């Protein structure tokens, strides 16, 4: 049974995009007639009226009719499109590097990290907790205390409004660290990307 059975009608699909239901990812995309943009179901753009939306099974179908991919949710990207997940994975990698180099919880400067990715400390904590179930400080203290670390494959592909969709493929563990702690290394591809704040406007 495929996930698409949950979104058989246009009304079902519209409900999915209203709720930004992650289970709709990969099942369909939708285009907005008034903007000419095609989005993934979990896009955080302002919800268009039902009468202005067209649904497609694939992105290519929408493009062939003249719609262009949304710059916010990037439906053309299959892997690595979720900036929140990338941020959480980057933080975990940083924490393990700090552990490996003998850093303590007192060395963890969340405000500095948040500033480096252009979000608030509160937003950073909220994103991390949404994807891991704990705060950055508690996670870091936990691995210092010997708790089992999370692997990249443990992090859901997407979480929206307390819903989540787990990883579809086994991915490389983040246990292996980088050679030194430089924020730009860990947060490459996240800096200057406004999509990292996508859940905070609604």
Percentage of the chain beyond pLDDT 70 is 72
More confident residue, 109 or 82: 109
Q: Which tokens go with 6?
A: 């949950």
Residue 102 resides in a domain:
yes
Taking alpha carbons only, the member of 101, 111, 167, 170 closest to residue 136 is 111
Percentage of the chain beyond pLDDT 90 is 26
Going by the DSSP 8-state scheme, the letter that residue 15 receives in this structure is: H
With a CB cutoff of 8 Å and minimum separation 6, the contacts of 64 are none
Taking alpha carbons only, the member of 184, 70, 69 closest to residue 116 is 184
Q: Where are the alpha helices (DSSP H) in 117-166?
A: 121-132, 136-144
16, 29, 39, 88: the active-site residue: 39
Tell me whether residue 141 is one of the annotated catalytic residues: no
More confident residue, 108 or 175: 108
Tell me whether residue 39 is one of the annotated catalytic residues: yes
What is the tally of structural domains in the chain? 2
17, 29, 32, 43: the active-site residue: 43
Indicate if the pLDDT at residue 169 is higher than 70. Answer: no
Which residues lie across from 54 on neighbouring strands? Answer: 31
Indicate if the pLDDT at residue 61 is higher than 50. Answer: yes
Residues 107 and 94: their CA atoms lie apart, in Å, by: 12
Average pLDDT of the segment spanning 143-156: 81
* Per-residue pLDDT at 180: 36
Give the pLDDT confidence of 62-84 residue by residue, as tens digits.
999 999 999 888 898 765 556 77
More confident residue, 134 or 52: 52
Do the beta carbons of residue 159 and residue 167 sit within 8 Å?
no
Confidence of residue 172 (pLDDT cuts 50, 70, 90): very low
CA distances from 15 to 1, 49, 101, 116, 131 (A): 21, 12, 48, 36, 23
Residue 122 resides in a domain:
yes
Taking alpha carbons only, the member of 42, 4, 5, 3 closest to residue 22 is 42
Confidence of residue 119 (pLDDT cuts 50, 70, 90): confident
24, 53, 73, 89: the active-site residue: 73
Tell me whether residue 73 is one of the annotated catalytic residues: yes
Q: Looking at residue 45, which CATH number applies to its domain? A: 3.40.10.10
Residues 57 and 14: their CA atoms lie apart, in Å, by: 14
Indicate if the pLDDT at residue 154 is higher than 90. Answer: no
Residue 101 resides in a domain:
yes
24, 32, 38, 70: the active-site residue: 70
Give the pLDDT confidence of 42-54 residue by residue, as tens digits.
888 889 999 999 9
Same domain, 45 and 17: yes
Taking alpha carbons only, the member of 115, 163, 126 closest to residue 19 is 163
In this structure, what are the phi and psi dihedrals at residue 151, rounded to the nearest 5 degrees? -95, 160
Tell me whether residue 43 is one of the annotated catalytic residues: yes
Query: Mean pLDDT of all residues in the chain?
Result: 76
- Give residue 178's domain range: 83-197
Indicate if the pLDDT at residue 32 is higher than 90. Answer: yes
Confidence of residue 202 (pLDDT cuts 50, 70, 90): very low
Residues 132 and 116: their CA atoms lie apart, in Å, by: 21
Same domain, 148 and 113: yes
Same domain, 181 and 145: yes
Residue 76 resides in a domain:
no
Residue 202 resides in a domain:
no
Number of helices and strands (H, E) in the chain? 7, 6
**For residue 83, what is the enclosing H or E element?**
helix 83-100
């Amino acid at each position: 049974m495929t996930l698409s059975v949950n979104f058989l009608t246009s009304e079902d699909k519209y409900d999915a995009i209203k709720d930004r239901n992650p289970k709709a990812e990969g099942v369909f995309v939708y285009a907005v007639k008034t903007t000419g943009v095609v989005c993934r179901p979990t896009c955080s753009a302002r919800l268009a009226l039902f009468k202005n939306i067209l649904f497609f099974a694939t992105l290519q179908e929408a493009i062939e009719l003249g719609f262009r991919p949304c710059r916010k949710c990037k439906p053309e990207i299959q892997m690595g499109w979720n900036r929140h997940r990338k941020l959480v994975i980057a933080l975990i990698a940083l924490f393990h590097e700090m552990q490996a180099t003998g850093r303590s919880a007192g060395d963890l400067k969340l405000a500095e990290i948040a500033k480096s990715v252009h979000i608030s400390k509160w937003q950073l904590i909220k994103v991390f907790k949404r994807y891991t179930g704990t705060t950055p400080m508690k996670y870091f203290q936990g691995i210092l205390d010997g708790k089992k670390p999370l692997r990249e494959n443990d992090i859901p592909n997407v979480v929206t409004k307390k819903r989540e969709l787990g990883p579809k493929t086994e991915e490389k563990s983040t246990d292996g660290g980088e050679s030194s702690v430089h924020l730009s290394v860990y947060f490459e591809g996240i800096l200057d990307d406004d999509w990292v704040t996508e859940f905070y406007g609604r």
